[in-house]
Structure 1
Amino acid sequence: MSTTKPILIAGGGLASLLLAHSLRRSGIPFKIFERDASFTFRAQGYRLRLSPEGLDAIESVLAPETFQRFWDKCGKTSGSGLTQLNAITGEPIPLPPSPQTTLTSRNGKVVGISRGDARKIFAEGCEEHIEWSREVTGYELTPSGDGVHALFADGSKSPAGALLIGGEGIRSKTAPQLSHNRLKVYDTGARGIHGQAPTAAFAGLGEGVFILRDDTSHPAGAVSLITNVRPGEMDDPNVEFGWTIAGHPGVIAAPNDNYTIVGKPAADVARALARNWHPRFRALVDNMNESEAAFWKITCSTPTGVPEWENEARVTVIGDAAHAMTPAGGIGANTAVRDAALLGRLLREAGGEVEGVTAEYERVMRGYASEAVGLSYGAATKQFGVRIEVGATPTV
């Protein structure tokens, strides 16, 4: 860069770390501000299924030997798509062809990786540039306009950076300031529970990606469980596979409406939801590791796509801060890593200049991300029964 000012990155999630990895390889200075005290402060979330676009984006950033280690960490499952089964009877339920039912990304395999493993690889060489327990609450430009400060929850601010990249997720404070509140996130009302169980509990399914659907047990709507059974680890008693239960609005409720609760209270709700299921499916929930159970809310950006705002040359946003998505099809995380790869490439190609970089990034990102938001929301309306009314007030 023609300036010694670093790139400032708010948030230490997957997209932020992949961007940082890209900047490090390009020799561009950077600083990450993460609100948590460490990577182990919170659970890393459920497993990430990689789309062809997401996998290509990651490969474009990592060095060949690093990508090989990333690839070796990935699980590879045979099959071209989802298998949907009636959770009560065990009978197959046909799925219409869609982008969410064709899941293979490379070599005819469904490819996935735990978010914790991905985060660890992306963070390699970047750890010394992370400031922990630093929650970004906004930004201010320098009086000369040649830099930007990140503002923190404790009232302090960072030294001036060349750019600020908001990657703090759905509760980003950078996004509403930058977009003048055009970037919105809605609580769809649908809820989920993430859990894990020993591989032996999955023996009744076999290899593949499965949706177990229950349309009749709960008056408020349907419940479904999705899981990926990977063959290479099926016989390892030390491995746990993850699953996610999701329900229509009103089906899943946390005690006292507190969705930060983890452990037994979440596990108890999951078991109650599966009480009428076929024994070979109920085993996934009955044998779960209670300590890993966690509630989550299903959120989404404006379904029409990423809005336009007046470009600020010194500030932009990536990942969920720019385009929050429902979990349908795993589209959100794959779009986030595309953001990181795109912005990192543009900064490298800028050859020391920042003028025009954020404008070009936002132009390209709006195209693919708006399409992704539409696909994600469309799938969620069918899978979770959600609907965001035009003109509704954002609830996140």
Structure 2
Amino acid sequence: MATKNQKPILISGGGLASLLLAQSLLRSSIPFTIFERDSSISFRGQGYRLRLSAEGIDAIESVLSPEDFKTFWGMCGKTGGAGFGQIDGPSGELVLPKEKSDEEKASQKATEEGKKGQEEKGPVETLASRDGNVIGISRGDMRRLFMSGCEPFVEWSHRVTGYELTPDGVRAVFEDGSKSVEGSMLVAGEGVSSKVAKQLSGGKLKVYDTGARGIHGQAPTTAFKGLGEGVWRVTDSSDPRGLYSVITNVRPGEMDDPNIQFGWTMVGPPGLVQAPNDNYSVIGKPAADIAKALTAKWHPRVKSLFTEMDENEAAFWKITCSTPSGIPGWTNNPRVTVIGDAAHSMTPAGGIGANTAVRDSAVLGNLLREAGGYQEDITAEYEKEMRVYGSEAVNSSYTFAVTQMGIKIDEETSATL
């Protein structure tokens, strides 16, 4: 059990992994403080819709109270059918019809072709995660739910740039040089640009720019009527560079409500999706214009996703990844550790990144709960387990991206963040 007058667990960053960890601490009555660089939860757009894996759902369920998980589950979209349908953008014709579940395909291929033949064709991207359905939720909705109850413990407009160890704890160091209250532990969850991760690992934790780029967008559900329920991938047979857009969780029961939006993610190989002046921090119309230009010759069946898009919600993104050889080792610090993208950046291929991040939160939160708060061996135990599943996840994410995006990184590639 947590004891009175404990020093708080300090958490840098207020993203999904950080907030789910905070939920675990909240339920365990372990004090914590979150430092978030933004000025509020609505300061900027929250990006695309997330597809949840079985592991991700299990991790979230293990942290939330039964009542909160029921709320979370009610917010999720459930799409029937487990396989991708693939459509050619210019013609609007089906390239691949809706398929059997990926589990069924994997089993069938393994039986017919043997393990070696299956490996040669690349990994199987499993979509269904619970009850035979594809489960998805808006990143913004999930963040707001995870924030519930944590608001009094968030300090906004605080960008963490490092840490300072004390004789009996640790302090976060902010961009302006000021320092936080003394905490028992600092957990870095501020994403791919984490300064804490670099300080902790002595520069061993690196993030690589794959060169691939993407655009997120949203459109009213009525724009998706030409597709229907399911998970769809749109490819462009006329473009040898391999542009494709993945439209996730086109859900039943909402297709006639123009007040609801579905999201899509466009991803292009290196050199295809380019922001004005190479400035990928710009959002809105500049990103929307690029998406519309790339799909200008597409068939109305799929072109409506772009012509009817909400331009204000469009956003560029650079696709980054940790080295596929695995999460490196570093000298353990009992007072400091990392979670989420700060520990393992991933490409969007396979939808693995966020699911691995919430798994971090569940593992670390459970260790803290069992110990009743800080304990000297917790970070070492957590990192040992995280390196195993985290390295597997990064490798899977990278392997998917090699075939889908034409990227290539290795130990000789220059880290960019």
Cα distance in 2, alignment partners of residues 346 and 156 from structure 1: 30
Cα distance in 2, alignment partners of residues 294 and 256 from structure 1: 15
Q: State which of 113, 132, 156 in structure 1 corresponds to 2:156.
A: 132
User: For residues 274-311 of structure 1, what are the alpha-carbon distances to aligned partners after superposition, in whole Å with 9 as ceiling and x for unaligned?
Assistant: 01212211111111111111111100001111111110
Determine whether 1:7 maps to 2:28.
no
Match of 2:277 in 1: 256
Cα distance in 1, alignment partners of residues 284 and 59 from structure 2: 35
Residues 82 and 102, structure 1, Cα contact 8 Å, conserved in 2: no
Q: State which of 209, 217, 226 in structure 2 corresponds to 1:187.
A: 209
Match of 1:225 in 2: 245
Cα distance in 1, alignment partners of residues 149 and 374 from structure 2: 24
Following superposition, the deviation at residue 87 of structure 1 comes to: 1.6
Determine whether 1:360 maps to 2:360.
no
Cα distance in 1, alignment partners of residues 92 and 233 from structure 2: 11
Could you tell me the percent identity over the aligned residues? Answer: 63
Please give the secondary structure, in 1, of the residue aligned with 2:179.
coil
Cα distance in 2, alignment partners of residues 215 and 139 from structure 1: 51
Match of 1:196 in 2: 218
Please give the secondary structure, in 1, of the residue aligned with 2:350.
helix
User: For residues 193-222 of structure 1, what are the alpha-carbon distances to aligned partners after superposition, in whole Å with 9 as ceiling and x for unaligned?
Assistant: 1111111111110100000011433x6x11
Structure 1 gaps, min length 5: none
Residues 100 and 328, structure 1, Cα contact 8 Å, conserved in 2: no
Determine whether 1:26 maps to 2:50.
no
Cα distance in 1, alignment partners of residues 124 and 141 from structure 2: 24
TM-score in terms of structure 1 length: 0.96
User: Aligned residue pairs: how many?
Assistant: 392
Cα distance in 2, alignment partners of residues 99 and 236 from structure 1: 37
CA gap 1:390/1:92 in 2 versus in 1, 3 angstroms: farther
The 4+ residue runs of structure 1 with deviation greater than 6 A are none
TM-score in terms of structure 2 length: 0.91
User: For residues 118-174 of structure 1, what are the alpha-carbon distances to aligned partners after superposition, in whole Å with 9 as ceiling and x for unaligned?
Assistant: 1111111110000000000000100x2x20000000110011100000000000001
Cα distance in 2, alignment partners of residues 159 and 337 from structure 1: 26
Pairing of 1:152-301 with structure 2 (within 5 A): 152-217=174-239, 221-228=241-248, 229-301=250-322
Cα distance in 1, alignment partners of residues 355 and 252 from structure 2: 24
Pairing of 1:48-197 with structure 2 (within 5 A): 48-94=50-96, 101-142=125-166, 144=167, 146-197=168-219
Determine whether 1:346 maps to 2:367.
yes
Residues 270 and 285, structure 1, Cα contact 8 Å, conserved in 2: yes
- For residue 103 of structure 1, what is the amino acid of its counterpart? L
- For residue 131 of structure 1, what is the amino acid of its counterpart? E
- For residue 13 of structure 1, what is the amino acid of its counterpart? G
Cα distance in 2, alignment partners of residues 394 and 15 from structure 1: 23
Q: State which of 315, 325, 331 in structure 1 corresponds to 2:352.
A: 331
- For residue 312 of structure 2, what is the amino acid of its counterpart? S
User: For residues 13-44 of structure 1, what are the alpha-carbon distances to aligned partners after superposition, in whole Å with 9 as ceiling and x for unaligned?
Assistant: 00000000000100100000000000111111
Residues 324 and 410, structure 2, Cα contact 8 Å, conserved in 1: no
Match of 1:371 in 2: 392
Please give the secondary structure, in 2, of the residue aligned with 1:233.
coil
Cα distance in 2, alignment partners of residues 235 and 395 from structure 1: 44
Please give the secondary structure, in 2, of the residue aligned with 1:43.
coil
User: For residues 315-337 of structure 1, what are the alpha-carbon distances to aligned partners after superposition, in whole Å with 9 as ceiling and x for unaligned?
Assistant: 00000000000011210000000
Determine whether 1:307 maps to 2:324.
no
Residues 6 and 28, structure 1, Cα contact 8 Å, conserved in 2: yes
